[in-house]
Amino acid sequence: MFPYNITRTNIGWVRAEGYRNDLLVKHLREFPSPPNLDQNEGVRAMRKEMSVQNLYPPIFLTYPLYQDSIKVVLLNENRPSEWEKISAYLSEKKYITNEQARKITGIVQRDKMAKMLKLWANQGLLIQIIPPSGFVKGTKYKLSDRAEVEN
């Protein structure tokens, strides 16, 4: 059951005020090397550790009849890297721009994405196509193994 100030949408972002699940704490204390239950052993730590290990974040589901109860789904599967996302997109489409790449990867900063695209171009994974006008926002990239076809 959720404490009064925790919901499915804010779990891990808002701290439960003075509440511990006594049954869960009791079982955790029986571990050979029990965690420190008072410091950084909650949902935030779980999200952080899963992110460090490049796993998908936890999914919190509520039941239709019991909105206070929760089911946690932990996927033991690696998230695709930025290159895997870009490569998959380019296997279906011919070109990608910085803006499209940011939407696919979830990277917000334009400059960070530009550096990644240029790095992949320098490594020979992508070919950078600068328009004749030199308009920077019109720069496109394609996989290096695809033949160039005029638009």
Domains and CATH numbers, the chain: 1-79 (no CATH), 82-143 (1.10.10.10)
pLDDT of residue 72: 81
Tokens of 122: 């320098």
pLDDT of residue 149: 42
pLDDT of residue 24: 65
18, 21, 26, 29 alpha-carbon torsion, rounded to 10°: -60
* pTM recorded for the entire structure: 0.55
Residues of the chain scoring pLDDT < 50: 148-151
